[in-house]
């Protein structure tokens, strides 16, 4: 019997939050191919803005990593974020009729601001283990979301949503998630209980923000003032 | 005719947001002495948690300041935040029946988390001018709030709210606000237009968060998940 | 039998370096009252510049500290550094005929640049335990230096050197050193072995820089280019 | 007549330092093919350790960059540093008989420690313009060194030194230098005079450290204690 890894225990503690993500109307309606396109457009613009801030966190994580192998992989991930992933969103934006300049100037909605400031604060102030723990829910929930959505016949009939979803259903995306989990586990195993506790809290908070992010997009959230 | 200072122009741009602060039910009801005590208790606990994060930003601002005089004043402010201001809130908490341990363990509500992560991110990533611009709305709005509330007869009859309010009506608090504004002006005058624009954006965002903070307290905001 | 504390073990590992500090000509000649005054002037100017950078590190340490009591003490130490300690050096500078403006503009000699950049890098990139470990040798070696020098008859006859030395022979300075050691021990006890190892390395490196700092002053070090 | 760019003015101010680099015995003897191999081995190990810290600074620069194009190029440079450049040094190390594990564990000599802590401190505390200004002398001096060395007949006869040198004589390396200079110029043109002055000071200091780095290698510098 394999003992539970640190990331397993994070996943377990976050389970109720993740369940509420999987059944959020935004994702349910994606799965049914019924999500109103304006909500998806809102989401893509916010995701684009989020990705840039996520990349900044990877830059700092690379700077703070001690072992050369992880440093290399993080630098390669950072490069991929700003090329492959940005390109993917820019192509998606183009198909949705979002002018490139508009996409690039997307302003953070309140939940996106809160989420990215949380990640960036951890990135600047904390050790690499805490940074990765704060980034992990984004990477990992997308894999599970895509897994759950992927088989739906209704989704397959919505070309755009289906393509978006399949981005996160590839073998390479699964490898990526696995790598992030492994890094989290390695970093946790070398850390004291106070650090592991902060890792856990960052993971839970980021999981909450993932849920709130889908909600933000569904409601096309604006600043209250 | 005195030319408009940078902080004057910030104040002017933020005017609609500040107006909405001054007429927020939380503050209107403070002025009438009618605010439900549980909302005030919620506020005090969140303000305590906020103050600690504000102090952290002052620590980093001190570290990043170039001229010795500003460095000394910021260090002195930091010390005062963690002694005089914390003590004031701890005494207020005691009178409200909040056990000290509970006050000290106050967990950040969503808006407080977003606001303090914004400030901390600016503190870690930006120059001192941007940090001070992000901190200024808290200091300054309290002075204007207290000025507007201070003469109300109804407030004077509510001993607790009146005392809380008078903390921000002293000559020394007015001097403090003036010093922060002067520092903002000095730092802005030495800064390029990109930095001044970021200072402006931080000031506006913190002003929005000030409004949202009162709203958070009034609604006793909880995490949606 | 009391078990050895973490700071005891640091002190033990650094013993050979510290011994070489105690017998460095700069300090031997201070003890004999024979140190050439121009070397002492050079030292005071460099120490002034060092103190400002040390204070910056305290600002960041305050920002990164979790428990309120340590945060308060660090903020109070920061304030004291920039008032009491700076004033002490400014008075000393005045007696040595160093104009205040010259003292304040003292440019870092190579060793002082290297030492303070080491401390600042740890302050920005590391957790509070690492910061305190990097700052501790400065505080602690001065106490031991002053203890060893303090009884010398020859020193007592050199009014200026004797007064300088007695600054670090007070009960309050001993308390300060003890507090820093206690904080180091508490932070180490909650830390994983990787962090403790980095704390140890920072302590050793700062101890080396302390030795090099005295040597820099004795040689009135200049930039090679 | 083209007006002088900011990087031109930096180059001009640093000219005396750069001249002393070009005539340093380490490089003169490289050009003659007469440099003692143990000094070159020492250099390669220190350069490897330096490169890792340089890459950390690129990670933070990527995080702090505002415009997407620069962010992408910096991320790509970071990735290249940790793959292409590290591989080049690892192959060079192999040919020099340095075991990979020894190369990777190379400990920073005093000058290398001072130089990299300077760069890292700027990276953590300063804006992207200051970071790039601190990194630029390394990139740029290597191009000029290689240009000057490249035609020497004696160098061509020393296969190893010639190959090392030709790494920095490629068209792509010239493009890289040009890109860094252009970025420095763009960032300077948007910056206030205080920031430009700090950029200038970082550039001069890094230029001094470049000179001291060659001297460190020539003397196979060790810690004085």
* Higher pLDDT pick, A151 / D208: D208
* φ/ψ of residue D192, rounded to 5: -70, 170
CA-based nearest distance B189→chain D, Å: 10
Q: How many CB atoms lie within 10 A of CB D84?
A: 11
Lowest-pLDDT range, B61-65, D23-27, D149-153, D178-182?
D149-153
**């993932």: which residue's tokens?**
A210
> Across chain D, what does the average pLDDT equal?
96
- pLDDT > 60? residue B166: yes
- pLDDT > 70? residue C119: yes
Q: What residues in C contact D120, CB-CB < 8 Å?
A: 117, 121, 124-125
Q: What residues in C contact D209, CB-CB < 8 Å?
A: none
- The stretches in chain A having pLDDT less than 50 are none
CA-based nearest distance D159→chain C, Å: 32
pLDDT of amino acid A9: 98
User: Hey, what's the torsion of the CAs at A58, A61, A65, A68, to 10 degrees?
Assistant: 10
Query: No. of H helices and E strands in chain B?
Result: 13, 0
Task: Identify the band that residue D1 occupies on the pLDDT scale cut at 50, 70 and 90.
Answer: low
pLDDT of amino acid C3: 80
- pLDDT > 70? residue C2: no
Interface check C117 vs B, CB under 8 A: no
Percent share of chain B, pLDDT over 70: 99
Dist. CA A87–CA A80, nearest whole Å: 10
Q: What residues in D contact B126, CB-CB < 8 Å?
A: 127
Dist. CA A197–CA C122, nearest whole Å: 23
Task: Identify the band that residue C53 occupies on the pLDDT scale cut at 50, 70 and 90.
Answer: very high
How confident is the model over B213-220, as a mean pLDDT?
98
- pLDDT > 90? residue D16: yes
**Rg for chain A, CA atoms, rounded:** 17
Dist. CA D73–CA D58, nearest whole Å: 10
For residue D212, give the chain C residue with the closest CA. Answer: C224
Could you give the C-alpha distances from D122 to A41, A57, A128, C163, in angstroms and in order?
39, 18, 20, 37
User: Hey, what's the torsion of the CAs at D210, D212, D216, D222, to 10 degrees?
Assistant: -120
Dist. CA B141–CA B113, nearest whole Å: 19
Interface check A62 vs D, CB under 8 A: yes
HEC readout, chain C: CCCCCHHHHHHHHCHHHHHHHHCCHHHHHHHCCCCCHHHHHHHHHHHHHHHHHHHHHHHHHHHHCCCHHHHHHHHHHHHHHHHHHHHHHHHHHHHCCCCHHHHHCCCCCHHHHHHHHHHHHHHHHCCHHHHHHHHHHHHHHHHHHHHHHCCCHHHHCCHHHHHHHHCCCCHHHHHHHHHHHHHHHHHHHCCCHHHHHHHHHHHHHHHHHHHHHHHHHHCCCCCCC
* Higher pLDDT pick, C163 / D2: C163
For the question of residue A57 being annotated catalytic, the response is no
User: Do D174 and D143 form a contact (C-beta atoms < 8 A)?
Assistant: yes
Write out the two tokens for B95: 């009178």
ipTM > 0.95 (yes/no): yes
**């078990």: which residue's tokens?**
C3
For the question of residue B210 being annotated catalytic, the response is yes
User: Hey, what's the torsion of the CAs at C134, C136, C138, C140, to 10 degrees?
Assistant: -160
Dist. CA C147–CA A9, nearest whole Å: 53
Q: How many CB atoms lie within 10 A of CB B8?
A: 13
Of the candidates D68, D71, D78, the beta carbon closest to that of A62 is on D78
Contacts of B33 (CB under 8 A, 6+ apart): B154, B155, B157, B158, B161, B162
For residue C71, give the chain B residue with the closest CA. Answer: B82
Dist. CA B15–CA B110, nearest whole Å: 25
pLDDT, tens digit (0-9, with 9 covering 90-100), for C64-92: 999 999 999 999 999 999 999 999 999 99
Dist. CA B145–CA B131, nearest whole Å: 22
Interface check D61 vs A, CB under 8 A: yes
Do A63 and D57 make contact, defined as CB atoms within 8 angstroms? yes
Residue D219 CB-density burial (10 A; 0-12 exposed, 13-18 middle, 19+ buried): middle
CA-based nearest distance A90→chain D, Å: 13
pLDDT of amino acid A138: 98
pLDDT of amino acid C1: 55
User: Do B129 and B199 form a contact (C-beta atoms < 8 A)?
Assistant: yes
pLDDT of amino acid C179: 97
Distance of CA D222 to the CA centre of its chain: 21
Task: Identify the band that residue B1 occupies on the pLDDT scale cut at 50, 70 and 90.
Answer: low
Interface check C192 vs A, CB under 8 A: yes
pLDDT of amino acid A2: 66
pLDDT of amino acid B3: 80
Write out the two tokens for D34: 């007469």
Interface check C194 vs A, CB under 8 A: yes
- pLDDT > 90? residue B150: no
Q: What residues in B contact A17, CB-CB < 8 Å?
A: 225
User: Do D82 and D94 form a contact (C-beta atoms < 8 A)?
Assistant: no
Q: How many CB atoms lie within 10 A of CB A133?
A: 31
pLDDT of amino acid B151: 80
Distance of CA C147 to the CA centre of its chain: 15
Buried b (16+ CB within 10 A) or exposed e, B95-128: ebebeeeebbebebbbbbbbbbbbbbbbbbbbbb
- Which residue among D53, D138, D144, D147 is the active-site one? D138
Write out the two tokens for D176: 């890289």
CA-based nearest distance B205→chain C, Å: 22
Dist. CA D14–CA D162, nearest whole Å: 27
For residue D75, give the chain A residue with the closest CA. Answer: A79
């Amino acid at each position: 019997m394999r003992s539970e890894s640190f990331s397993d225990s994070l996943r377990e503690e976050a389970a109720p939050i993740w369940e509420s993500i999987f059944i959020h109307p935004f994702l349910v309606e994606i799965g049914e191919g019924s999500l109103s396109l304006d909500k998806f457009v809102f989401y893509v613009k916010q995701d684009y803005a989020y990705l840039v801030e996520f990349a900044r966190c990877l830059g700092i994580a690379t700077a703070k990593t001690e072992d050369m192998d992880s440093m290399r992989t993080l630098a390669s991930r950072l490069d991929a974020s700003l090329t492959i992933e940005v390109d993917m969103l820019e192509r998606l934006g183009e198909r949705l009729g979002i002018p490139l300049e508009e996409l690039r100037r997307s302003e953070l909605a309140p939940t996106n601001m809160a989420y990215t400031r949380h990640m960036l604060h951890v990135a600047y102030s904390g050790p690499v283990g805490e940074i990765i723990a704060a980034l992990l829910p984004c990477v990992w929930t997308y894999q599970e979301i895509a897994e759950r959505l992927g088989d739906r016949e209704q989704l397959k009939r919505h070309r755009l949503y289906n393509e978006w979803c399949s981005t996160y259903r590839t073998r390479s995306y699964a490898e990526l998630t696995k790598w992030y989990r492994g890094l989290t586990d390695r970093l946790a195993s070398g850390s004291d209980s106070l650090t592991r506790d902060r890792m856990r809290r960052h993971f839970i908070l980021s999981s909450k923000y993932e849920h709130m992010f889908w909600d933000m997009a569904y409601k096309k959230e604006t600043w209250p003032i």
